[in-house]
Every structure is written in structure tokens, then in C-alpha cells.
Copies of this chain bind each other. A is one copy, B any other.
Amino acid sequence: MALKVVVIGGVAAGPKAAAKIKRLHPEAEVKLVEKGKFISYAGCGLPYFVSGAVKERKDLMSTPIGVVRDAAFFQKVKGVQVLMETEALEIDRAGKRVRIRRDGTESWLDYDKLVLATGAKPVVPPIPNVNLGNIFTLHGVPDAESIKAMIAQAKARQAVLIGGGLIGVETAEALIQIGCQVTLVEMLPQILRALDWELARLVEKHMAARGVKVLTHTQVIGFEGEGSVSAVVTNQGKLPADLVVLGIGVRPNVDLARAAGLTIGPTGAIQVEATQRTTDADIFAAGDCAESMDLVTGKPCYVPLGSTANKQGRVAAINACGGNDRFPGVLGSMVCRVFDYCVARTGLSEANARAAGYDVTTVIVPDADRAHYLPGAKPIILKLVIETASRKLLGAQAVGPGHGDKRMDVAATAITAGMTVDQVSKLDLCYAPPYSGALDNIIVAANVARNKLDGQVAGVTAREVKRRLDAKEDFLFLDVRSPGEHQQERLPQSTLIPLGALRSRLAEVPKDKPIIAFCKVSLRGYEAAKILQGAGFENVQVMDGGVVAWPYEKVITGV
């Protein structure tokens, strides 16, 4: 008897699992059940379809050589039978069968192994009038097509995006590119909460510079409109809108699993072992419906992403075929393009790490992404989060126009391996001037962290400096940049002594006050601190990240 496999869900994990099972067991009978009209499409590409960077819908569901991955393709090439527009209604675990509805008719599919890849659905908040026209989510192809159609017909120009997560940020870029006015509304004090506040703030500033009105601390309390939306009502006032995109997150589709008595984990997603097995040994779950393990904390987490879905689908397939593969977990690694910025992160943020009880040391190191003397060198503002006692890298974040994604992938690999910053600082990364500095950004940052951990330098965050400034504490806020740099923009209440002059102007530095040194990126700030310490000044700190990473207003004086 051929192995009978039913796979429920046809976007990412499902097709991956189905195809892999056929490759492992060519004689298996594999049925893929999909509720919608499309399978195997790149959901993560939807913002780029909205922007027009991806020209046609079929590009999102084609192989690299342009063959559409439809039901016929799966049958012909993969040997997988796809049941489109077919809803799975019930899992009969005792009978090992799934009840489905297709063309209005119900029937049962028998299985030996079942793979649940039921995905997630966007959260639609219970806000008054949320069902008005022109209020969309951006979750499937139809959503994207509707938004495009509205804009193409010039029926929408004023977009309000609700939720400052990935979908909100990526859609903001897409809509700006096609000429909309865009407001991004976020209830929390920051967008992209996978980032720490001060880096998210830099992203917000960049978005604002590119025309997006970013409103944090703003809660949507209703919508107005006749048939179609005309305004978003928030706790900060009313925003005119003829297009609204809800991007406040997704919830795993677990109804089928729950009804079948499978255990749902603490995150609300289906609980699975590292084998992707659910609490029924013949039922696997993978992708956006399944829980993952946080590789740093060892706790269950829910991070729905296409990359993870594909990996989990493959693991489920191997184990469904009697193999032994394991998906160890995730780091919440994320990257998104935000206009000219690459915004990326992996592992624990400082906020998450502290909330989880870690004692951490952090650094913020802005630096060029390649040899600074080459045209095209672009800055990356890099943050590392390190467990103080073990010196292990726990997390990393990168914001800026430079290639931060590369550094985050290195960080993700290093965190997975449990590396300390000492180990990271010695990594033999590829070096040539068009690709990095002689010491790559992440190595420089690791060295800065080691200096802190070893007590070579005392760091202070911009946030703490701002607090002390606001509290009118008495300290010397020492800018050691050049007069030219200081002329262009400076930080409030700062005093300039250029680094090159510091050794000869020590008499000007008060002996009795705390000193906080900084420069553009705080490497000169560090040099200054070492000079001051060497000269007997005892209370010297360096501000993390310098002027570049200062998340507050600057005093713009010149040029």
C-alpha cells in the first residue's frame, strides 16, 4: 500500500512538504488541500507587487524560469494532487481521515500522515466600522490586487496604515512609491518592536524624511465613512483616509487542530516537537500555524515567516516519511527594506533580553559597510546585545543604508553557535575594500563590547544622557568632533574640544564633573575617554553610537 499523505494548506510549508514527500517516496499518494485560488505563492512579495516592482501576479507564483506553480504544475512536475478551493472541515484522528468540502460537496480523504500547514490570518481588530470599504489587510493575493485596483482607478490617494510592523513598514514604502500620501499609525511608542526603541526611532526618522507621516503612541478607535472609509479616528485626532491597510499582526489558524484535540501551545499556535510532530504522532504542523522554539531562551515562540515555513515543511516531510530531522528553532531574524535603509535584527533585543531576566551589556556602533574611502560606502548603525557574565552574543540589530543584512546573518549564525563576543571578534570574515572594512562592522562592534565588558570603557546610552540633560544634571557633554562637523549639527548642551586638541587642552576639562564624551560614531569618543582616563579623570563615559545614533532632536546650526 502506498503511503497516503494529506497536506492542508498550499502557500509555503504545505507545498514544500508535499513536494519533498513525493521526492522521498515517489510512490506516495500526496494530496494538497488549499482553500483559496492560489498555491505556492510568495506572500512576502506582496508589498512589492503593490509597489509595481513585481509586475504581475503570476511572478509571485512562478519558478525562477517563469513556470507558474499551479495545480497542473504540481501534478505534472511534483506528482502532487492539488485540491484547489477546497476547505478542510474536520480531522477524524481515530479514523485517520480529513473531511473536506469542494464545489459544495463534502467528502473524506484518508491519510497515513497528515501535515497541517494552515497558516495564519491577519488580525482584524474589533473597531467600529472596520468593515467599511477600502479597509484592507495585506495577507493574500486578492488583498494586494484590491489595493492596486483602488489606486489604479485613482480611488485612493490618502492611505493610513495601521500597525508599525513589517507589513505596515513595507506597505508604506510601496504606497509612497506609487504616489500615495501615507500615514503610519502605531499604538506603541515605536514601530518595529522587534528593534530596540532607539534604533526604531532612526527608522521612523528615515521614513519621515521620505514622506511617511509616522504617528506612534496613537491608537485607532474607529473609522468614518459612507460605504467606503473616509477617515481614521484615533485617540490623537482624526486622519482623512481613502485607503486603510491593517497590519497589526497575524494569528495562527488553529481551529482545525484545536477541534481535533491537538495541543495548542502557550503562544496560541500548534504545539510541535522539533520533529514538527504535533501531539498526534501521525500529524505534523509546519509554517505559520505552528509554534517554534526560541533558540536563545529555549522557550516557545511564534514568529511566522516564509523562511521558517519552508524549513519546517521540509522537516515535517522527512519525518512523515520515517526519517529523522529536527527543526531546532528560530532567532526572530528579520530584515526589511525601508526606502534606502536596510533594517535587520536577530536574537534578543535589549528590551526582550532584560524582560527575560538577562543581565546584558549593549553597544551601538555606527560604521561604514565597506572601506570608507571607496565610493558607495554606506553607514550601518549596529547594536549588539551581550549577556554580561557569559559574554555570549544574544542579539543584534542593524539600521541604515549599508548592508546590515550581511552582518545580521553572521550574528544569527554566531548566536546559534553560542559564540561569545570574544569569538565573534576573531571571525575570519571575507575582507576586501568593496565589501567591508579591514575589521568588519560586527568585529568592531564585538571589540567595543569587549572593551566595555573588560572595564576599558564605560558606556552610556543616548537615552540615559537625555534623561540627565532633561534632569539638568551637572556634567560635561564633550563633543570631540572637528569644528566643521560641530558647525553642521550638534547635540544640545554639548561642549566642543576636537580629539586632536584634547591632549593639549586638558586644562579646559573640569576635574570635578562627570564627563560624557562622544563624536560622530563614538570611536573618537572612546579615544577621548582613554586620553582623559590616562590624564587622571575618573568619571568618564562614552555615549553609545554618537551623533549618528542620537535618536532625539539635534541642533542644526550650519550649512
**Residues in chain A within 8 A of chain B (CB atoms):** 12, 22-24, 26-27, 42, 44-45, 48, 53-54, 59-60, 62, 64-65, 67, 73, 76-79, 166, 170, 295, 305-311, 314, 325-337, 342, 344-346, 367-368, 371-375, 403, 405-406, 408-410, 412-414, 416-417, 419, 422-423, 425-436, 438-440, 443, 447, 456, 481-482, 485, 499-500, 503-504, 520-521, 527, 530-531, 533-535
Contact = CB atoms under 8 A, between A and B. Distances in A.
Contact of A73 (B76, B374, B500): B500
B79 A503 contact: yes
A45 B368 CA distance: 15
Contacts of A439: 307, 310-311
A527 B77 contact: yes
Q: Which of A336, A430, A443, A481: most chain B Cβ within 10 A?
A: A430
A428 B346 contact: yes
Contacts of A428: 295, 307-308, 329-333, 346, 412, 416
A110 to B, nearest CB: 22
B335 A438 contact: no
Contact of A26 (B325, B337, B430, B533): B533
Contact of A419 (B67, B417, B431, B447): B417
A332 B500 CA distance: 37
A461 to B, nearest CB: 22
Nearest to A19: B527
Nearest to A443: B311
A12 B438 contact: yes
Q: Which of A23, A306, A423 has the most CB of B within 10 A?
A: A23
B431 A305 contact: yes
Please give the count of copies of this chain that the complex contains: 2
A412 B430 contact: yes
Nearest to A28: B534
Given A12-B438, A433-B44, A447-B314, A26 B531 contact: yes
B527 A45 contact: no
Contacts of A427: 409, 412-413, 416
Find the residue from A73, A310, A434, A520 having the highest chain B CB count within 10 A.
Answer: A434
A558 to B, nearest CB: 16
B311 A456 contact: no
Nearest to A306: B438
A479 B373 CA distance: 47
Contacts of A521: 64
Contacts of A62: 373
B333 A429 contact: yes
A219 to B, nearest CB: 28
Nearest to A315: B426
A208 B345 CA distance: 40
A11 B398 CA distance: 30
A44 B413 contact: no
Given A335-B435, A430-B344, A431-B307, A371 B417 contact: no
A384 to B, nearest CB: 15
Given A27-B534, A334-B430, A335-B432, 13 more contacts: A44-B371, A48-B371, A59-B373, A314-B447, A328-B426, A335-B431, A337-B434, A345-B430, A409-B409, A412-B430, A413-B419, A416-B428, A417-B419
Given A77-B499, A426-B311, A409 B412 contact: no
A48 B374 contact: yes
Contacts of A405: 406, 430, 435-436
Nearest to A419: B417
A219 B531 CA distance: 55
